[in-house]
Amino acid sequence: MPEGQIRKALSGFYYVYYQGETYQTRGRGNFRKRELTPLVGDYVLFESGNLKEGVVQELLPRKNELVRPPVANVDIGIVVMSAIEPSFSTNLLDRFLVTLESKGIQAIIYISKIDLLTDELLQQLKEKERAYEKIGYPIIVPEQTDNKKSLEELTSYFPNKLSVFMGQSGAGKSTLLNSIAPDLELKTAEISNSLGRGKHTTRHVELLPLYGGLVADTPGFSSIDFLELEPEELSACFPDFVEVQDDCRFRGCMHKKEPGCQVKKEVELNTIPTYRYQHYLQFLEEIESRKPRYNNKHKK
């Protein structure tokens, strides 16, 4: 049975790519009973007599999945953050980074609207850029007059990877995606016009071959409410904490009130930014206070 990849899901059909061809398939009847939902990005075993009539027989194990957009087996999450209008938010950025870390997805940060910054605000942004680079995150800040170089840098990450764009509302995710793949804009407009729904068109997700890799054509605002994270898993999603936490006095230190906590020491020494630690405490509180509701929902 051939192994292909779902590149598009639309109206109950799964479009499976295999050896240069795309096969229109349906999911096997017992998927619903087994509570399995094939996602774009899934690798599948399928049977097909021709390009129009096939059946997805089995979903192969996925390494991760995102909720918005619904895509599986993601390698790279491109977090698009606005420098201004809306203002650059380290809290929101850290939420995205934690989500990506928890799913084993490489994060790349792209800053938009640089051209609107004053010199003073640009300097403040440069400080944040250095802080995130030190943690190990690639952060792409375009030149104020030209973003050609930054687009080249961004697309250099695409080969042999599945990438998804995400980020804050109003940061220009779609604009950035359209500047990388100009055909998209046309396509979005065509779909909107043909369905007569204007901007509120429900978009299906499709993986587009771009720059030697695959890119989800719908920017997502992936779930950032940490519903899948346990409190003790959170610190592993902060690489700057992971680097030093072996030196904490207690194994399994939550970096909260424990004595001899190396993370808190690094915050005092300013080697871990205070705002990162504050975000950690805030996220931890959110996870701890939501956990009972989450469990109750699943027990019903």
Annotated binding site: 112-115, 167-175, 248, 253, 255, 261
At 5-23, the pLDDT tens digits run: 999 999 889 999 999 999 9
Q: Can you name the residues that pair with 241 across neighbouring β-strands? A: none
Annotated binding site for GTP: 112-115, 167-175
Sheet containing 162-167: give its strands across.
Answer: 139-140, 106-112, 76-82, 162-167, 213-216, 207-210
10-residue stretch averages of pLDDT, the chain, 300 residues long: 94 93 91 90 94 94 91 96 89 95 96 88 91 96 86 96 90 86 60 44 77 89 79 96 96 94 96 97 93 46
Q: What residues contact 166, with CB distance under 8 A and at least 6 apart? A: 66, 77, 78, 79, 80, 96, 173, 219, 220, 221, 222
Annotated binding site for Zn(2+): 248, 253, 255, 261
Domains of the chain (ranges; CATH) run 3-62 (2.40.50.140), 66-216 (3.40.50.300), 231-299 (1.10.40.50)
Give the pTM: 0.87
